[in-house]
Structures are given as C-alpha cells and as structure tokens.
Amino acid sequence: MARTIAVSGSASGIGEALAGMLRDAGDTVIGIDLRDADVRADLSVPEGRASAVAQTLERCGGRLDAVVACAGVSDFTVMPVKVNFFGAVELLDGLRPALAAAGAPRAAVVGSISGTHPVDDDVVRACLAGDEPAALAAAEKAERGGAGGLLYPSSKAALAQWMRRVCVTPGWAGAGIPLNAIAPGVVRTPMTAPLFADEAMVQVMNEAVPMPLNGHAGPEVIAEALRWLISPANTHMTGQVVYVDGGAEATLRGAGLF
C-alpha cells in the first residue's frame, strides 16, 4: 500500500537515494531540504524547523506513515549541533502527532560511526537537556579552543542517546511508533567528496573508520537499510543503532560490548 513519508536531506546523498527508492516503489515522499525539495526550510534554526513542520503537516494533511531525519552537516563548527541534533529532534517531535495518526507509523534518524568517537561532554549533556543555547555556547567554546572536530561526533552521539531515551516512552512506543537509527561508516556522497579528493585524508579516514567488509558504501546501501527500518515489516525493533559500516564499529569496539 502506498505510504506518505517525510525525508529530510532529500536533495543530496543518502536522503536523495532514499527518496528516489520510495518514490520508485509508489510512495509519496515529502522531501525537506534547504533547496530542491517539496518543503524548503533551514533546519539549523528554530524558525526554520517550525516552518518545516508546518509545511510538512499541511502537505500530508496531518497524517504521516514515516519520517526519516537524514539532513546533516559535518564541518568543525557549531552547525552539526544545530542541524544534526536540534534539527532532527525538533523535526521528529513536531511530526510525531502526524505519525501517531497513521496505522503503522515508523521513524528513523541517521546517526554515524562518529557517534562512537570522542565527544565534548558539555555539548552532549546540554543537547540531551534540550538546552540549545547552552549546547551552542559549549560548542562555540570547543570551536574556539581548537576542538571543533569533536562537534560532529557529539551531535551524533547525542542524537543516538536521545533516540534511545524517547523510543520507549508513551509518545513513541506507546503510540506504536518504532524509532531507530542507522549509523553509517564512510559513504560516498557530496558530504565526503572533498575527503576522497585528498589522498592523505583518505588515509586518515581509513584509520578512523576501518571498513573491512566491502569498503566504502554508496548512498543506496544506507537508504536500503533505512527503507527496512521504516517499513511495515518492522513491528518490534526500536531504540537500535544499526551500524551499516563495513565492520567499522565491530573493529573499533570489539567483542567486549556483549
């Protein structure tokens, strides 16, 4: 049965691949992005997030079968905190009532293997407290202090922890909405194109994210996993961070987690 699915970050990379797959299968996709999207909005700021929610609700008539928060940025500034954490959380929170109105609703976020890397604890704590001014103040401090590289991992670690906290609450599990994350390793998209253009960076990337199984992935690999998470077939998986990373997480964290 055709479903109506909102996908943020639909103009590029993983979000674009997912939107294309869903549309090819007959679903109605409401793409949300800065440009080239059904809903054009800036998820880095509160008013842009509110506009994204309002426009999406208007387009779907208050009933959504699935939401995938995929939009993201990976620079060493405060932007990952704004877009990857608060942009995703406020989009999901705002669209949750429309999911609850559907028969078999599903939601997913896109985390990252980087969420297992070192983080700025103050940023993560403030994100989880829902305190954006405090999170941005801590992020600015990290950026000024030359620790901007911690901000992308911090945004993704906070997103995964937020997801695990809320997924079992009445608003999500209680409303019949599975909420999970896919955490990719390194994916060939416009986000990583500048890294692949630099041989030294490829070396650094391969050490930070070793992918012994089939190497770097294409965006369709991640899209396929997201597609299952938000499919009606997923009735009982929630709160999981599924690493689609060519074995990076298993290599880095080993067997000791279980």
Ligand X SMILES: NC(=O)c1ccc[n+]([C@@H]2O[C@H](COP(=O)([O-])OP(=O)(O)OC[C@H]3O[C@@H](n4cnc5c(N)ncnc54)[C@H](O)[C@@H]3O)[C@@H](O)[C@H]2O)c1
Residues known to be catalytic: 152
Q: Is 205 a binder of ligand X (CB under 6 A)?
A: no
For the stretch 75-98, what's the b/e string if a residue is b when 16 or more beta carbons lie within 10 angstroms of its beta carbon?
eeebbbbbbbbbbbbbbbebbbeb
Q: Is 241 a binder of ligand X (CB under 6 A)?
A: no
First to last CA, the chain: 38
Q: Which of 18, 31, 33, 153 binds ligand X (CB under 6 A)?
A: 33
Count of residues that interact with ligand X, criterion CB under 6 A: 28
Closest approach of ligand X to the CB of residue 118, in Å: 16
Q: How many Cβ atoms sit within 10 Å of the Cβ of residue 30?
A: 24
Beta bridge partners of 4: 28
Instruction: Name residues contacting ligand X, limited to 209-238 (CB under 6 A).
Output: 219
Strand, coil or helix: 4: strand
Q: Is 56 a binder of ligand X (CB under 6 A)?
A: no
In the complex with ligand X, which residue's Cβ is closer, 32 or 102?
A: 32
Sign, CA dihedral 222-225-227-229, equals: negative
* Rounded-to-integer distance, Cα 83 and Cα 102, Å: 27
* Rounded-to-integer distance, Cα 251 and Cα 254, Å: 5
Which one of the spans 95-103, 189-197, 225-233, 249-257 is the region binding ligand X (CB under 6 A)?
A: 189-197
Closest approach of ligand X to the CB of residue 230, in Å: 15
In the complex with ligand X, which residue's Cβ is closer, 163 or 186?
A: 186
- For residue 2, CA distances in Å to 28, 56, 64, 200, 232 come to 7, 18, 11, 46, 11
In the complex with ligand X, which residue's Cβ is closer, 44 or 238?
A: 44
Q: Is 9 a binder of ligand X (CB under 6 A)?
A: yes
Residues 6+ apart with CB under 8 A from 141: 122
Q: Is 72 a binder of ligand X (CB under 6 A)?
A: yes
In the complex with ligand X, which residue's Cβ is closer, 43 or 127?
A: 43
Q: Is 90 a binder of ligand X (CB under 6 A)?
A: no
Closest approach of ligand X to the CB of residue 139, in Å: 15
In the complex with ligand X, which residue's Cβ is closer, 190 or 215?
A: 190
Q: Which of 4, 12, 116, 180 binds ligand X (CB under 6 A)?
A: 12
Q: Is 150 a binder of ligand X (CB under 6 A)?
A: no
Name the one residue in this structure whose structure tokens are 């290599």: 251
Q: Which has the closest alpha carbon to 162: 230, 228, 107?
A: 107
Using CB under 6 A, list all residues that contact ligand X. Answer: 9, 11-15, 33-34, 42-44, 70-74, 83-84, 110, 112, 184, 186-187, 189-192, 219
